[in-house]
């Protein structure tokens, strides 16, 4: 590489890097870690099922907001543990819950079958407390507010009375609070009940039922509105980019069995000036179905249900997505809010409930016929919305199915990834080969025509219409159809792209791959390979915008860059046509040569982008590049043989020249453009006369 070309390549790479740094701040924002209590470093079972919570007790003065009604609770917030408290391997419960009497909320939720780290014993915490304004901890699923006949009473900081029970049907935690009028007489009693039934692992179910009852203790009817908070403290699964979602499923009357979910709600609320997004309001044409939040691997889904267990009850008044503290720099408190309305006659009670799913985004569980409610509610939609719009959902599902099937055979997801890429490469090889051959043929033909095109530019450079007409005429005389040739090289690539994107997506959203290793130092294919961990983390200016804080030497991105460079080096390149005397300038050849010189720098740049990506994705890209390099080698040999037979210097015959073969759409388009150019030239000539 000469010095001038090297400097140009370096400047281009530097410009690309600077642009990416600016763009990355917007499309890959680095979110701060979810704020958790100072003593929440390790997961441990509580020593008892009741006792004071970690928060400061709420006094009765704080529990008495201004108005005709006030809440009467207890002086100390109760703490109740439910589920797999002892972290037993044979437990019938798939979760470990710590409930708080403050707001009748969930303080934290751990997953029985999933760990925080690869070799750690701490259970994965899907829900956790988040620091709020004034030092108060914001808890999940808390009852925030109740409105009685239009008068609001704040409940989120009230300590409810609590009692725990257990029988053959499972575990139950009951919370109660009384609302008294200005005379101190009890007017309304609110009761909230958490029910956790045994769910052995083979059922693939992870459900929590939450029922609440409004009991009218007076002789007057009450209109009661209850505001309930959604999940908070959900961690990011991928540290370099926001992968958390807010789900709001609604259905139209014509689509009663299909949930429509907006995957961009989390970003809208966490980054917008208005920290609330109305997801549903009574009177809207659609019917509210369910809502929730989660990351790429786990979710908390809340489904309001009527007392008879049916979905889409009429009592849902409004559903929102909210940022509790309104601060764009903190996102652990981005959640949902559900407002329900019940009309309670005198001396009677009304009930409602929520089916809560707390667990992994497991496509198999969501599609299992035995889980009819999961299937009916279309829980799979929370996985499908992460596929994006650049591929087909069924194609990604097929890739996941094939990948899981290969893992069952070979027993290693890393090996399964390699085999899967090999299978896809073999299936697409004929298309790839055809595209490469057509591209080389087109480049060689265009290279040979370039001197004649330059002569036309010298003759008709000031007359664009005439230049276009003569160029089309030259193509026709030489039997070259640029539209057909371009389609022959680009169409195979367009066909392959959805397949590769589907393969990439299947690796990014497969819960089965979490904490599954490959070989040697690669212990988790969903995390960077970290061949040599560092003692601490290091911030490199500009570079850390791409890679984040560097805490280890990751080898796979380096090997991936080498494989990509090797593939580019082996890609068939057109040779300049033989010229007698002084060769005419060939811009296409010069541009291709400049791109080849930039390949090493672009490979390094791409390695930096992928440095902190999961090792499974880097393994996929590296394997694809190595197999692509081998494929290019085979194609080069094929082209050499074709040239030796004297068949390499031309694209397939123009379909318009073969009367037995109907012309293609592109061929017809090409000749239509040529006819327009001829008509424009004739019209211009008449005007001059």
Q: CA 569 to CA 556: how far, in whole Å?
A: 20
Task: Give the residue from 338, 364, 386 where a domain finishes.
Answer: 386
Q: What is the CATH number of the domain that holds 224?
A: 2.70.98.90
Task: Give the residue from 644, 659, 674 where a domain finishes.
Answer: 644
- Per DSSP, the chain holds a count of helices (H) and strands (E) of 14, 23
Average pLDDT over residues 192-201: 95
Q: CA 233 to CA 325: how far, in whole Å?
A: 13
Please report how many Cα atoms fall inside a 13 Å half-sphere around the Cα of residue 495, on the Cβ side: 17
Domain shared by 371 and 419, yes or no? no
**Count of structural domains within the chain:** 2
Size (the chain), residues: 689
Position 226 scores a pLDDT of 95
- 670 occurs within a structural domain: no
Domain shared by 576 and 448, yes or no? yes
Per-residue tokens: 590: 């010069």
Position 43 scores a pLDDT of 29
Domain shared by 379 and 470, yes or no? no
Position 79 scores a pLDDT of 94
Per-residue tokens: 526: 């969903």
Beta bridge partners of 338: 228, 319
- 574 occurs within a structural domain: yes
Q: What percent of the chain has pLDDT over 70?
A: 72
Got the DSSP string for 147-207? EETTEEEE-TT-B-EEEEEEETTEEEEEEEEEEE-TTS-EEEEEEEEEEE----GGG---E
Within 8 A by CB and 6+ apart from 402, the residues are 420, 423
- 440 occurs within a structural domain: yes
Domain shared by 446 and 347, yes or no? no
Q: What percent of the chain has pLDDT over 90?
A: 30
Domain shared by 350 and 444, yes or no? no
Q: Which residue has the tokens 């090289």?
A: 489
End-to-end CA distance of the chain: 55
Which of 136-140, 260-264, 270-274, 476-480: highest mean pLDDT? 136-140
Which of 617, 383, 616 shows the shortest CA–CA distance to 522?
A: 616
Strand, coil or helix: what is 138? strand
- 656 occurs within a structural domain: no
Within 8 A by CB and 6+ apart from 607, the residues are 557, 558, 560, 561
Q: CA 554 to CA 608: how far, in whole Å?
A: 11
- Residue 194 structural domain: 70-316+327-386
Per-residue tokens: 333: 């408190």
Average pLDDT over residues 567-577: 63
Got the DSSP string for 195-243? EE----GGG---EEEEEEEEEE-SSS-EEEEEEEE----PPPSSTTS--
Lowest-pLDDT choice from 199-208, 283-292, 675-684: 675-684
Within 8 A by CB and 6+ apart from 20, the residues are 546, 605, 609
- 678 occurs within a structural domain: no
Within 8 A by CB and 6+ apart from 244, the residues are 234, 236, 266, 293, 294, 295, 331, 334
Domain shared by 470 and 568, yes or no? yes
pLDDT, tens digit, for every residue of 619-660?
988 888 888 888 878 877 877 777 776 544 444 444 334 444
Average pLDDT over residues 139-145: 95
562 vs 68, higher pLDDT: 562
Mean pLDDT of the residues in the chain = 77
The model's confidence at residue 15, banded by pLDDT at 50, 70 and 90, is low
What radius of gyration do the chain's Cα atoms show? 32
Q: CA 390 to CA 518: how far, in whole Å?
A: 29
Domain shared by 469 and 514, yes or no? yes
- 43 occurs within a structural domain: no
Calculate the alpha carbon distances from 178 to 59, 99, 487 in Å: 15, 19, 73
Which of 109-123, 206-220, 243-257, 315-329: highest mean pLDDT? 206-220
Q: Could you tell me if 144 and 103 are in contact, meaning their C-beta atoms sit under 8 angstroms apart?
A: yes
For residue 580, give the DSSP letter: S
Q: Which residue has the tokens 């031309």?
A: 650
Strand, coil or helix: what is 664? coil
- 688 occurs within a structural domain: no
Q: Could you tell me if 324 and 213 are in contact, meaning their C-beta atoms sit under 8 angstroms apart?
A: no
In degrees and rounded to multiples of 5, residue 484 shows phi and psi of -65, -40
Lowest-pLDDT choice from 516-530, 559-573, 671-685: 671-685
- 676 occurs within a structural domain: no
The model's confidence at residue 684, banded by pLDDT at 50, 70 and 90, is low
Domain shared by 520 and 622, yes or no? yes
Domain shared by 360 and 463, yes or no? no
Domain shared by 541 and 604, yes or no? yes
pLDDT of residue 380 exceeding 90, the answer is: no
pLDDT of residue 7 exceeding 80, the answer is: no
Calculate the alpha carbon distances from 688 to 72, 149, 679, 683 in Å: 96, 85, 14, 9
Average pLDDT over residues 496-503: 74
Domain shared by 371 and 403, yes or no? no
Domain shared by 249 and 369, yes or no? yes
Position 651 scores a pLDDT of 45
Average pLDDT over residues 426-443: 76
Position 86 scores a pLDDT of 83
Which of 452-466, 608-622, 646-660: highest mean pLDDT? 608-622
């Amino acid at each position: 590489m000469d010095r001038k070309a090297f400097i140009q390549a370096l400047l281009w790479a530097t410009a690309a890097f600077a642009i990416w740094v600016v763009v990355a701040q917007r499309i890959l924002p680095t979110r701060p870690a979810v704020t958790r209590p100072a003593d929440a470093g390790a997961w441990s079972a509580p020593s008892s099922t009741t006792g004071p919570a970690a928060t400061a007790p709420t006094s009765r003065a704080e529990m008495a907001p201004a108005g005709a009604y006030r809440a009467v609770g207890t002086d100390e917030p109760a703490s109740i543990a439910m589920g797999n408290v002892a972290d037993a391997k044979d437990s019938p419960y798939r979760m470990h819950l710590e409930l708080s009497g403050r707001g009748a909320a969930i303080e934290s939720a751990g997953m029985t079958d999933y760990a925080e780290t690869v070799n750690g014993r701490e259970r994965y915490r899907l829900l956790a407390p988040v620091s709020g304004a004034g030092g108060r901890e914001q808890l999940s699923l808390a009852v925030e507010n109740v409105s009685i006949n239009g008068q609001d009473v704040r409940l989120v900081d009230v300590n409810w009375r609590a009692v725990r029970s257990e029988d053959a049907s499972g575990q139950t935690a009951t919370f109660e609070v009384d609302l008294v009028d200005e005379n101190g007489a009890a007017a309304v009693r609110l009761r909230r009940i958490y029910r956790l039934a045994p769910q052995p692992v083979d059922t693939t179910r992870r459900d929590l039922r939450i029922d609440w009852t409004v009991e009218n203790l007076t002789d007057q009817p009450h209109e009661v509105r209850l505001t309930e908070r959604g999940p908070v403290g959900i961690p990011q699964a991928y540290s370099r980019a926001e992968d958390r979602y807010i789900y709001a499923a609604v259905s139209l009357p014509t689509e009663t069995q299909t949930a429509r979910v907006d995957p961009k709600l989390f970003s809208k609320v966490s980054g917008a000036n208005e920290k609330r997004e109305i997801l549903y309001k009574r009177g809207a044409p659609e019917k509210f179905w369910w809502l929730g939040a989660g990351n790429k691997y786990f979710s908390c889904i809340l489904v309001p249900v009527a007392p008879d267990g049916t979905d889409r009850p009429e009592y849902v008044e409004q559903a929102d997505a909210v940022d509790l503290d309104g601060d764009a720099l903190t996102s652990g408190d981005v959640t949902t809010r559900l407002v329900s309305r019940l009309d309670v006659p005198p001396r009677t009670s009304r009930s409602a409930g929520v089916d809560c799913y707390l667990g992994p985004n497991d496509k198999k569980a969501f599609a299992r016929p035995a889980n009819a409610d999961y299937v009916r509610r279309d829980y799979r939609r929370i996985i499908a919305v992460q596929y994006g719009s650049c591929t087909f959902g069924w194609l990604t599902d097929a890739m996941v199915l094939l990948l899981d099937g290969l893992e069952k055979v070979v027993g290693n997801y890393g090996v399964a990834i390699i085999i899967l890429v090999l299978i896809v490469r073999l299936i697409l090889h004929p298309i790839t080969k055809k595209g490469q051959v057509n591209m080389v043929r087109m480049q060689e033909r265009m290279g040979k025509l370039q001197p004649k095109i330059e002569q036309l530019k010298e003759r008709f450079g000031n007359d664009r219409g005439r230049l276009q007409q003569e160029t089309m005429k030259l193509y026709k005389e030489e039997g070259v159809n640029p539209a057909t040739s371009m389609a022959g090289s680009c169409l195979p690539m367009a066909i392959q792209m959805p397949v590769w994107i589907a393969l990439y997506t299947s690796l990014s959203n497969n819960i089965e791959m979490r904490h599954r290793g490959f070989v040697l130092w690669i212990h988790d294919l969903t995390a960077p390979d970290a061949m040599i961990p560092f003692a601490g983390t290091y911030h490199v200016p500009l570079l850390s915008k791409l890679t984040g804080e560097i805490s280890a030497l990751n080898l796979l991105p380096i090997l991936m860059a080498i494989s990509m460079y090797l593939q580019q080096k082996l890609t068939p390149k057109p040779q300049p046509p033989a010229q007698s005397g002084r060769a005419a300038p060939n811009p296409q050849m010069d541009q291709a040569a400049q791109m080849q010189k930039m390949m090493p720098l672009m490979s390094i740049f791409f390695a930096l982008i992928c440095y902190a990506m999961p090792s499974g994705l880097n393994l996929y890209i590296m394997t694809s590049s190595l197999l692509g390099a081998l494929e290019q080698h085979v194609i080069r040999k094929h082209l050499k043989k074709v040239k030796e037979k004297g068949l390499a210097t031309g694209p397939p015959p123009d379909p318009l020249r073969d009367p037995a073969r109907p012309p293609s759409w592109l061929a017809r388009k090409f000749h239509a453009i040529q006819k327009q150019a001829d008509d424009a030239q004739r019209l211009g000539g008449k005007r001059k006369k």
